[in-house]
Chain A
Amino acid sequence: DAGVIQSPRHEVTEMGQEVTLRCKPISGHNSLFWYRQTMMRGLELLIYFNNNVPIDDSGMPEDRFSAKMPNASFSTLKIQPSEPRDSAVYFCASSLERQVEQFFGPGTRLTVL
């Protein structure tokens, strides 16, 4: 049974470029979370969806960040334009509504030069 799938696993880009991170949640899960991990701030929530609807995006740093969940099996996190301070590991996690545990993907390591 496949877990949460994230792509790409690594992304290196130059400042100013658009970056799109992708996530496929576990089949049947109806909640999806995007977290970011940095040395300075640790792990923090960016945005989460329940039943494809964004519930809380207060963690999104600024307008350069946007996230979508067009259907139950796919979500994207876009950064446009990217900046060096966006360099981090971005995790996607999913769960069922009444499930205690969240299941994490392997993360995407983003480096913005």
Chain B
Amino acid sequence: AQTVTQSQPEMSVQEAETVTLSCTYDTSESDYYLFWYKQPPSRQMILVIRQEAYKQQNATENRFSVNFQKAAKSFSLKISDSQLGDAAMYFCAYRKGGRGNTPLVFGKGTRLSVIA
């Protein structure tokens, strides 16, 4: 079974600084997707960024970027120029690829605090 591990239950960062959240996963599949979701206090699940396993180039979305190390099964999220609105729970998630849709497997999450 696939597993996702986030080893940092809590992180903090100064406003305008950069922070990196860690995630590792375990799978025997070659076709899969990886995601970072943000969950603010409103509890809405918001997709931050995604990565297709077959793509070598790391995904970026504005201030958010990932470091995808396929051989090491590592998928970290870097937030640059941190803002107060970035404070939230962040979940790393995995989804098997292939035909049809498949469910997400989540890590336990990292709570990010942003200090003004």
A binding-site residues for B, Cβ under 8 Å: 30-31, 33, 35, 42-45, 48, 50, 56, 89, 91, 93, 95-97, 99-102, 104, 106-107, 109
Contact assessment for A42 and B106 in the assembled complex, using a CB-CB cutoff below 8 Å: yes
**Distance between Cα atoms of A91 and B111 in the complex (Å):** 19
Residues of A within 8 A of B47 (CB): 101
**Distance between Cα atoms of A90 and B44 in the complex (Å):** 11
Residues of A within 8 A of B78 (CB): none
Residues of B within 8 A of A89 (CB): 43
**Distance between Cα atoms of A33 and B101 in the complex (Å):** 10
Residues of A within 8 A of B85 (CB): none
Q: Chain B contact residues (Cβ within 8 angstroms of A): what range?
A: 20 to 34
B91 within 8 A of A: yes
Question: A28 to nearest B CB, angstroms?
Answer: 13
Q: Across chains A and B, which 10 residue pairs bring their CB atoms closest together, nearest first? A: A31-B101, A104-B45, A43-B106, A45-B103, A42-B108, A48-B103, A107-B43, A97-B101, A100-B33, A33-B103
